[in-house]
Amino acid sequence: VNFRAQPGIEGVLRTYFQKLDAALASLPRTRRQQLVGEIRQHVDDAVAEQRPNSESELRDLLARVGAPEDIAAAALEEDPPTPQGRKHDGLVIAIVVLLLTGGLTIGLVLAFVVPPPSAQSSRSNPAKPHPKSPTTTGTTTPQSTTTAPPPPPTTTTTTTPTEPPPTATTVTPAPPPVVPSGVYDSGVAGTPHYFMVLTNGSAGGLTGSVDFAYQDGQTSVIFTFEGTVQGAEATLTPISVPQNGGGAQQDPSTIPSAMPLTMGGLSSGGYVIALGECASYLRFIQSMGQCNFVYSPTGSP
Amino acid sequence: MHAPLGTMRRMVASGAQLAQMRRGAIEYCVLALLRERERYGFELVRELSAADGLVTSEGTVYPLLTRLRGEGLVETTWQESNQGPPRRYYSITEPGNQALESFVDQWTRFRSAVDRMLEAGGVT
């Protein structure tokens, strides 16, 4: 019985977990996600065992699991918030404020002491071509960053050894969809899911890994890969398939020698990449829809 | 017709006392089940729930399991499952075994003493 295909039943589950999440709001985020993940797994197991066919049967099942308020009360009783925890939060805020104000102060001091970039050697800023360097034609490529997607490149600059500043700017055709380096998730934190760590190298090279995040936040690498981007597509080839003993570990023979990766670009949910046909070789992927990996702005799975 | 206030208070108190007794004993029931063999979360909770009056709602056991793990009385490992994602299995640790043995000793004496008093009062 594909009970989740029934909208009413799916709605009951969604409402239950929304209430549970709200009831656990006072718990630390990691603890809350872990507990919600455990309850979700329990409900999934109970559903698989009992196969409820109606909203009423599902409500009975959830009643046995417990009211969100009761679960929250038990969680707070077992692990009550402590004044020390609040003190810790205050310490973190104080450190952030100090770092910000300290950074500003150092920046102001450096502005007066250090000469402007034009007076420095190109070694101090290797990302920019030296005006006197030999002819260079370069297309900017997003480098490793996990904090914010870089702006898409739109121009190509050309310089010659005899022309101090760049004088000609040529507009090139729109580049293929570019996705930033970073972490991409196929599920939500606190529930077992795959995620991808992607590094967009130079000259269209890709490296990274496909990993599995367990319910309690532990992770293990399923395989590492390299690949080359051509347009919006890339083909990944596995480099290694670690045999680390994790529950999601796979035999190397199960990982294809070539895997298609599609750069979906920016969507409403963030940058998306699709690991084509991944349901056919990643053990815990249930449907092709789970082969879509969405950029994680926090840089964590 | 409303119950007298004193009766209501006793009913509330007895519910709270029962909850306290349950809370005090259930963690040792968890340890006892794990002493027999390791179990995964759903299996463990279901066995506890099957015992009459021990668990009021299944979901409330998970915070307890987290505390026991934090105290080092149980430990967990991930194991493959042929029915879905890997499952977290719980097993008892050596400190857990010691805590259980200590409880069993105290519980046996406590239970015998209470039984004797109840028998003396002619209520059992």
The nearest alpha carbon in chain A to B89 belongs to A247
Cβ <8 Å between A67 and B85:
no
**Which band of pLDDT confidence, cut at 50, 70 and 90, is reported for residue B35?**
very high
B-chain residues near A35 (CB < 8 A): 62-63, 66
- Between β-strands A270-275 and A292-295, what pairing exists: parallel, antiparallel or unpaired? antiparallel
Going along chain A, which residue ranges are E strands?
136-139, 155-159, 168-171, 182-185, 193-200, 205-213, 219-230, 233-240, 259-267, 270-275, 292-295
CB A14 within 8 A of CB A43: no
Q: Which residues pair with B123 in a beta bridge?
A: none
Please, how many CA atoms are within 13 Å of residue B93, restricted to the half-sphere of its CB? 12
CB A16 within 8 A of CB A62: yes
Asked if B68 reaches chain A (Cβ–Cβ under 8 Å), the answer is: no
- Inter-CA distances, A288 with A177, A187, A251, Å: 22, 13, 21
Which of A64, A193, A211 to substitute to test the interface with B, most B CBs within 10 Å?
A64
Q: Give the lowest-confidence range in A279-293, B4-18, B46-60, B105-119.
A: B4-18
pLDDT of residue B7: 62
Distance between CA atoms of residues B7 and A267, nearest Å: 63
pLDDT in tens, A62-121: 999 999 999 999 999 888 766 554 445 555 555 555 565 665 566 565 555 555 444 443
Distance between CA atoms of residues A272 and A185, nearest Å: 9
The nearest alpha carbon in chain A to B80 belongs to A247
**Which band of pLDDT confidence, cut at 50, 70 and 90, is reported for residue A160?**
very low
A-chain residues near B80 (CB < 8 A): 247
Which of A45, A79, A186, A194 to substitute to test the interface with B, most B CBs within 10 Å?
A45
Cβ <8 Å between B56 and A66:
yes
Helix axes B5-36, B41-50, angle to 10 degrees: 130
Measured between its terminal Cα atoms, the distance across chain A in Å is: 31
Q: What is the mean pLDDT of chain A?
A: 72
Cβ <8 Å between A65 and B59:
yes
Q: Torsion-angle region of residue A265: left (phi > 0), alpha (psi -120 to 50) or beta?
A: left
CB atoms within 10 A of CB A59: 13
Distance between CA atoms of residues A277 and A263, nearest Å: 14
Asked if B58 reaches chain A (Cβ–Cβ under 8 Å), the answer is: yes
Pick from A185-199, A277-291, B100-114 the range whose average pLDDT is largest: B100-114
Distance between CA atoms of residues A49 and B43, nearest Å: 11
- Three-state SS at A274: strand
Residues near A27 by beta carbon (within 8 Å), at least 6 away in sequence: A35, A72, A75, A76, A79, A81
Residues near B55 by beta carbon (within 8 Å), at least 6 away in sequence: B22, B26, B45, B48, B49, B61
The nearest alpha carbon in chain A to B86 belongs to A247
pLDDT at A147 exceeding the cut of 50: no
Q: How confident is the model over B104-113, as a mean pLDDT?
A: 95
Asked if B87 reaches chain A (Cβ–Cβ under 8 Å), the answer is: yes
- Three-state SS at A52: coil
CB atoms within 10 A of CB B41: 22
Which of B42, B80, B90 to substitute to test the interface with A, most A CBs within 10 Å?
B42
Asked if B60 reaches chain A (Cβ–Cβ under 8 Å), the answer is: yes
Which of A4, A19, A33, A38 to substitute to test the interface with B, most B CBs within 10 Å?
A38
**Backbone dihedral angles phi then psi of residue A88, each to the nearest 5 degrees:** -60, -40
A-chain residues near B58 (CB < 8 A): 42, 46, 64-66
pLDDT of residue A247: 79
Amino acid at A98: L
Residues near A61 by beta carbon (within 8 Å), at least 6 away in sequence: A43, A46, A47, A50, A52
Question: Above 0.90 for ipTM, yes or no?
Answer: no
DSSP A12-40: HHHHHHHHHHHHTTTS-HHHHHHHHHHHH
**Backbone dihedral angles phi then psi of residue A269, each to the nearest 5 degrees:** -90, -5
% of chain A surpassing 90 pLDDT:
15
